[in-house]
Amino acid sequence: MATITPALLLDQERLIRNVARMRDRAEALGVALRLHMKTAKSLDVADAVVAQGEGITVSTLVEAEAFAGAGYRDILYAVGFEPGKADRVEALLERGVDLQVIVDSPEVASWLATSDIGAGVWIEIDPDGTRCGVSPDDDRLITIGSALGSSLRGVMTHAGGSYACRHGSEIARAAEQERAAVVAAAERLRAAGAAVQGVSVGSTPTATFASDESGVTEMRPGVFMFQDLYQAGLGVCRLDDIAVSVETAVIGHRSNGELVVDAGALALSLDRSTARQELDWGYGAVTDTDGRLLDGLMVRAVTQEHGIVANRAGSIDLERYPIGSRLRVLPNHACMTAAAHAGYHLPDTFWPRITGW
């Protein structure tokens, strides 16, 4: 039990189990894991889950810098590079880190080619039109490949569209779409004479439901390490796989049979992703301090430092939860909730998070 509330708790056993399961999947599919550290942002978590020799993925340069300081050498910075970040990328390369960047435009590819930065570069492929990347059938793919020349490392993609799926069979189709797009891009580049080594796919949902990754060399899932209510709603995990929760204290009783707790919008985040799923968890599902779901209890509303806990099925027996009692909240979206906290409370230690940019 964390003394100070609200506090982010991490269940190390679930973390290890989630990663072991994903590692088994990757082995069965014949691909490497390049774990995405954007959710955990923690050297301690990485120590616990990254295998010897594996590369990692990061979402910010401050993560890259922290992991470089801890000895990680093969790091993919998986958010589109722009020239304003050249100095920090260069500094990492000069420290001997194999920092790799991603591009999806001929302009940036040319800029990199004429700079003397020398980072390995992956081309970002758009599998579903949801965010970034060049389409496999876009002629700019070849232009980018030619501009990069020998700095080209591979092609990578992120199936953002998988988050809009409703169940496993839809996600499996999104996974095949993701695979097909990035493999097609690799083949087209190879046909044009480019040396494409890496073929990388992302996303926890597709990594969980893919049945075939032919042509793919690696997967970059991240949030699966912690899982969350949204992933549970997708069928990616069970509720008892969720490895992070926010411990909170009851600070008030409302006359309508609701509790007020000291975890609000800052401690839980404003993520409402489960609102578009069959089971809407408000701002989080409520458990006791042993992690057992309290039937029907969820965080109905939040303001900055207040959460309102309601019972889906009616009012709460307030006497069961005196002021000062402790509850835990399972997050809708682990990446967002974890980001509000300085680190993870484990029974005997505290694992700091890497924050900022």
Is the Cβ of residue 29 or residue 111 nearer to a second copy in the bound state?
111
Residues 196-235 that bind a second copy (CB under 8 A): none
Q: Which of 11, 44, 65, 104 binds a second copy (CB under 8 A)?
A: 104
Specify the residue, 240 or 288, whose C-beta has the smaller distance to a second copy: 288
Pairing of strands 285-287, 326-330: antiparallel
Q: What is the rounded distance in angstroms from the CA atom of residue 177 to the CA atom of residue 183?
A: 10
> With binding defined as CB under 8 A, does residue 355 bind a second copy?
yes
Please say whether the dihedral angle defined by the alpha carbons of residues 14, 200, 216 and 218, taken in this order, is positive or negative.
Answer: negative
- Among residues 131, 98, 94, 111, the alpha carbon closest in space to that of 197 is found at 98
- Of the pair 17, 88, the CB lying nearest a second copy is at 88
**CB closer to a second copy out of 13 and 290:** 290
Cβ atoms of 145 and 194 within 8 Å: the answer is yes
Using rule CB under 8 A, residue 346 touches a second copy: no
**Which segment (15-23, 91-99, 274-282, 316-324) binds a second copy by CB under 8 A?**
316-324
Of 105, 217, 274, 311, the one binding a second copy (CB under 8 A) is 105
The total number of residues shown for the chain amounts to: 357
# residues contacting a second copy (CB under 8 A): 57
Cα–Cα dist 69/66, whole Å: 5
- 5 counts as binding a second copy under rule CB under 8 A: yes
* Nearer to a second copy among residue 31 and residue 37 (C-beta): 37
Selected range binding a second copy among 5-13, 91-99, 143-151, 168-176, rule: CB under 8 A: 5-13
Interaction of residue 70 with a second copy, rule CB under 8 A: no
Residue 130 or 177: the one with the smaller Cβ distance to a second copy is 130
Choice between 154 and 161, CB closer to a second copy: 161
Question: Which candidate, 339, 349, 348, 347, places its Cα nearest to that of 40?
Answer: 339
β-bridge mates for residue 76, sequence order: 57, 100
Point out which residues pair with 199 in neighbouring strands: 155
One-letter amino acid for residue 138 of the chain: D
Q: Does 60 bind a second copy (CB under 8 A)?
A: yes
Per-residue contact track with a second copy, 256 to 295, x per CB under 8 A? ----x-x--xxx-xxxx-----------------------
* Alpha-helical runs (H) found in the chain: 12-29, 43-49, 61-69, 86-94, 106-114, 140-148, 168-191, 204-209, 229-234, 265-268, 334-339
Tokens of 58: 């990061």
User: Residue 111's CB: how many other CB atoms inside 10 A?
Assistant: 17
CA dist 35 to 32, 48, 51, 339, Å? 9, 12, 10, 18
Q: Which of 120, 222 has the CB closer to a second copy?
A: 222
Q: Which residues bind a second copy (CB under 8 A)?
A: 3-7, 38, 59-61, 79-85, 88, 104-105, 107-108, 131-132, 160, 249-254, 260, 262, 265-267, 269-272, 303-306, 308, 322-324, 326, 335-336, 339-342, 355-357
